Amino acid sequence: MIEKYCTKAMSRIWADENKFRRWLDVELAVCSAWAEDGVIPKSDLEEIISKASFDVKRIAEIEEETQHDVIAFVSAVAEKIGPAGRFVHLGLTSSDVIDTAASLLLSDALDVLISSAEELRESLARLAWRYRHTPCVGRSHGVHAEPTSFGLKFLGFMAETERNIERLAGVRNEIRVCKLSGAVGTYANCPPRIEERTARALGLSRDPVSTQIVQRDRHARVVGAIALYGAGLERLALEIRHLQRTEVLEAAEPFGRKQKGSSAMPHKKNPILSERVCGLSRLLRGYASGALENVSLWHERDISHSSVERVIWGDSFNVAHYMTGIIKRVIDGLVVNESQIKKNLDLTRGLVFSGRVLLALIDLGLSREDAYAAVQENAMKCWESVQSGGSGALLGFLEADPRLAPLMSSDPGRIMKMFDTDHYLRYADEIFERFPVFREKKIRG
């Protein structure tokens, strides 16, 4: 991953230094497990634990000759330890170390990603609460539909983020497995009790059945959950992009005092951060495809998955973590234009209330078919007036319709009451109360 889209927290986790540190954690836990059986003498175990270390450059030098990373690692560690180093990697195959350490690395990275997603959720919760009673136009197919709440719009994004946090936490539990079953999963050279002790020492569960590797459906779920999380971030970013369009302009990304929008057009304020999030989400879906391809391997294993994972694991987490920070920055600094929100709500001169008017006419005695025909015909007149620059409004066209005059005269204020946004927001507080963060009053805008 290019440096621009890396984060410090994820880069530390996926750096070679930390990867080898996790490999060493596994090797030392296995040595301790063997020592319980007396296979490794106590004095040798003490020497292993006190002297075990590695040098990344030395590992690279050995790997250049051996063309095998785990052999290079084990040799480099053994050099540091001395004679007792012969016990390191006892009874193991390479994937025993790689896959068990991968469980630790992936869960560490998930912890960081989940924490940042929780911070984003809090930002969305504050924004949603602040505008929970601010009416705005809702859109379907990109076209004005009915009134909603600007806060409810972002409450939906908060809820999606919450679901993604739960998914990420779920795959974290699934990936935390230890595998020390040997070359084809039979425990031929390392009995199950060694795996059990090692798993306990590392805080992992045991993979109940494995081949030479932990099966890659687990890892595909991790990368898939990240891709799904990224899709949620993209949906949020896309909403910001639409709201910032000149014709809409209900909200906009923060724009710094010295920021420039275009090299040719000085007036431009572009939603570049949200666009970046949308673009990076495509990478995450690509990584998920690679992870799915890794599931189907030959027999007890082949190595075609390894090269893919060297790229997609670190990249997936870096990209997702970076995207989270970017979109949180947008949400925390979002410029909300309430006057434009109201202007857009009134833009179609009452058309967004057509559904409620329809129900009112039915309640006054018209059949649904006749009521729908009357409202639609007058709505089309209103559309034509809006598009041609006229001043006609839906209420006026309804009041002038001779078919509706008898109904409206019996209750003159009945139809007018249908043009009230409060009706559409009357359950907003109830919807917010479904979430403990609001019910327990932990968030206030």
Q: Say yes or no: 409 and 327 in one domain.
A: no
Same domain, 151 and 298: yes
pLDDT at 409: 76
Say if residue 244 is in the same domain as residue 331: yes
Structurally, the chain folds into a number of domains equal to: 2
In a domain, residue 12? The reply is no
User: Does position 60 have pLDDT exceeding 60, yes or no?
Assistant: yes
**336, containing H or E segment:** strand 335-336
Q: Domain end: 318, 345, 372, which one? A: 345
Helices 16-36, 42-51: inter-axial angle, 10-degree rounding: 170
Give the per-residue pLDDT at 267.
84
Identify whether residues 407 and 328 lie together within a single domain.
no
306 and 374 co-located in one domain = no
Residues 121 and 157 in one domain: yes
Neighbours of 57 (CB within 10 A): 8
Domain containing residue 218: 95-179+212-256+266-345
Q: What's the CATH number where 395 sits?
A: 1.10.40
pLDDT (tens digit per residue) in 14-42: 999 999 999 999 999 999 999 999 999 99
Is the domain of 239 the same as that of 358?
Answer: no
Same domain, 338 and 322: yes
Residue 246 sits in the same domain as residue 394? no
The single-letter DSSP state of residue 207 is P
Judge whether residue 45 has pLDDT over 90.
yes
- Angle CA(49)–CA(200)–CA(213) in degrees, nearest 5? 90
Question: How many whole angstroms separate alpha carbon 186 and alpha carbon 93?
Answer: 12
Beta strands in 133-223 (DSSP E): 135-140, 143-149, 177-178, 205-206
| Same structural domain, 130 and 217 | yes
Is 9 inside any structural domain?
no
214-266: pLDDT as tens digits: 999 999 999 999 999 999 999 999 999 999 999 999 999 998 888 888 777 88
- The reply to whether 137 and 159 lie within a common domain is yes
* Residues 113-136, mean pLDDT to the nearest whole number: 98
Same domain? 309 vs 379: no
Indicate whether 25 belongs to any domain: no
Provide the whole-model pTM: 0.95
Active site residues: 141, 262
C-alpha to C-alpha distance for 336 and 346, rounded to whole angstroms: 17
* 428 in any annotated domain: no
Determine the pLDDT at residue 22.
98
* Domain membership flag for residue 30: no
